[in-house]
Amino acid sequence: MTGGTLRIVFSAEDLARVRIASRADPMWEMVMSLCRLQERGGGAAMTGWRRRVRGDLVTAGLLPQVREVLLPLVPKGAYFPDFLTPIEAQFGLRAGTEALADTPRARVREELNVLRAHAGLPASLEDLARGDPRSIRRLSRLVDGYCRTAFASYRQMMEAALSHERGGLVRHLADGGVDTMLGRLAPVLRWRSPVLEAAYPVGNREIRLHGRGLTLIPSYFCQITPVVLVDQRLPPVLVYPAPRRP
């Protein structure tokens, strides 16, 4: 499918319920960083991170599991399961991995069937695809280990970039309200009230918030275009690339 446009349609109630994530979301950073790990380019910061993280994962004994389990769950340019990014992760890594470990078996099976249709599944994911509880718990532990290892050397840089972006959003909100804040998301996003638009790499997508509001999650490892959840029944979030600071 060729690129298209993401459109998020707000009501007055939605505008009153826009919130800004109060901290880095480790599960979204995990997913976005796995995308970056499979690419080249992205500037000096990403090149340096890829070089460093591969060595760190080898030292931690995690690289084989990352290759066999995590990378196939987040294939380059394709669908990845929503259960990898639970909303609870906004309260920190422990809350996020505990929510992942508690993902219902039926949901794991359903979303991995979608992934199978998009990109196929290797044999290393078959137990997980059946919703095996032990495999789900192992995945949660692997995600915890990956996040602690992959972000350890870059945590200060990540926090500086994301704190700066969140601070800017809060200032724009205080100075001019939600309209001003959403307008300041340019050039990645375009605010044409009541619709927030962006280029979207996997075709056209429209999300109507229906009074649920939207959580803005700036991300260090997200690049170029924003990302949203596939399942519109889940709490709406918008993950978008935060400018990286030197």
Tell me the per-residue pLDDT of 143-172, one tens digit each, with 9 for 90 and over: 999 999 999 988 999 999 999 999 999 999
Mean pLDDT computed over 71-98: 95
**pLDDT over 70, % of the chain:** 98
Q: Can you tell me the distance from the alpha carbon of 196 to that of 185, in angstroms, rounded to the nearest whole number?
A: 9
Mean pLDDT computed over 70-93: 95
User: Alpha carbon of 154 to those of 109, 142, 151, 219: distances in Å?
Assistant: 34, 19, 5, 13
Residue 2's pLDDT band (cuts 50, 70, 90): low
Residue 246 scores a pLDDT above 60: no
More confident residue, 40 or 117: 117
* Residue recorded with tokens 């030197």: 246
Q: Can you tell me the distance from the alpha carbon of 131 to that of 25, in angstroms, rounded to the nearest whole number?
A: 25
Residue 1 scores a pLDDT above 90: no
Residue 202's pLDDT band (cuts 50, 70, 90): confident
The count of C-alpha atoms lying within 13 angstroms of the C-alpha of 171, restricted to the half-sphere facing its C-beta, is 8
Residue 201 scores a pLDDT above 90: no
DSSP letters spanning the chain: ---EEEEEE--HHHHTTEEE-SS--HHHHHHHHHHHHT---SHHHHHHHHHHHHHHHHHTT-HHHIIIIIHHHS-TTS---GGGS-GGGGG-HHHHHHHHHT--HHHHHHHHHHHHHHH---GGGHHHHTT-HHHHHHHHHHHHHHHHHHSGGGHHHHHHHHHHHHHHHHHHHHHHHHHHHHHTTTTTSEEETTEEEEEETTS-EEEE-TT--EEEEEESS--SS-B--S-TTSPPEEEEEPPPP-
Q: Whole-model pTM?
A: 0.95
